[in-house]
Structure 1
């Protein structure tokens, strides 16, 4: 049992959680970051679009971040998994998988999102190596190359015009009924974008590099990369277990300051936003940490006035 009442417990040690820890450490708050060390972006080789860190691996990003945070002795990082939370604003109690307990005044969920199992044969083998979900993160490396988009419905109409900024050589595979309107199909025809709705039999690859997509009718689509629409769920069930409102898309509902509907509980990063980029998550972590610090300082000010 950790008897000290911490100011803040941060559950999740990705860009949002770590940047929040940095801000709170600089604000002289006592903080613990509880992280199980299984980030969603661990499958990728490089993180992109983050100024001063473009091209760094996710593991190296975390190593550098933790090294910087170590300059602030009031912050500790614990390699563990939070499994239950009780209590209310001002006195939360977190229990971990290893039997540790942490008492804290405020909670920050920076639990990110996690992928549902990939149901396309061969996709898991190329995910993070030659199959990706975000053109802003990985489009540059696949510029002008022949690609396959695996998506349907609204996802198709998001990916097609977006990806056209990197390459005009792509085929859409909807892996079943395309869920498009006739107007959307006509728009894609006008842009000479092939749309194939036969289910995918397999994705053939060598050492994680895609060679072709094979459909059930025998059609083969040679390609050098894939973009696909993942199915995501919140990285932890804990926000919902303590009563946080969750959207149909699986995100924690927060206001502009990262506050949830539960007093004293905040969320930041991918768990509370659809802006799935490391730099966006880090920024949200920083601003939410400032909101938490302001709340703590105001409460102390009023108690001591």
Structure 2
């Protein structure tokens, strides 16, 4: 039996970088978490510990900070693409770069009576986390850009049903024609090319997700997932595929009869676990093959 090296990669995970751009007295804030993974001619380092092909992970971290200073951070997809191209194009032993960026939103603080209200004061936003993953194989190939979001928490207080499912000897769940539907939307969508307006595209995709969630009378979370993915693809011609992972954040009606009270679907217990997890992909029929695992 022969032992061989399988797929491998290495990198610097979760470099937190905050970039403040000072436009006179008005400041702009970008708060990001950057993870880099590189792969290539790494056989010797694994087999005999020869580090000649290895770009240290500390150098990768320093590159993130240096690029934030040199180029700023506008759209996270553009920043990830800069980094991915640099690592592959500057190092002959590096053949593939994966750069993942999370962006955390901040809102300006608005204070009464202040002449410079909100110019340099911020409060962490309650919005979702914006994400992107860029894969790059070198100058002769087109980078693959996947944008997305995590933790977009949504809830419909009515307009959701669940019935007609399999019932076996272990089923206790009752069919319902009216329930609370709540979830944390985690979505990743693949762009057709490299040169879109990523900021506008993000807001358009986010709006389509919200519109479909609110506008779909749901018979299952699967149906809602499909409707949300489809609406993104219809609204955004630059997107060819979207993956969605949506936990079912169960809300159970509380029995108040022991206290002499009725409960006409007004008081609920929000259970955080265990929870149903619904996942799926929606894509156009002409979506090109990505050629890599989503992760």
Whether TM-score is above 0.5 comes out as no
TM band (smaller chain): under 0.3
Larger radius of gyration: 2
Q: Which has the higher strand share?
A: 2
How high is the TM-score relative to the length of structure 1? 0.25
Q: Give me the TM-score of the superposition, normalised by structure 2.
A: 0.25
Taking CA–CA contacts closer than 8 Å with sequence separation of 6 or more, which of the two structures ends up with the larger relative contact order?
Answer: 1
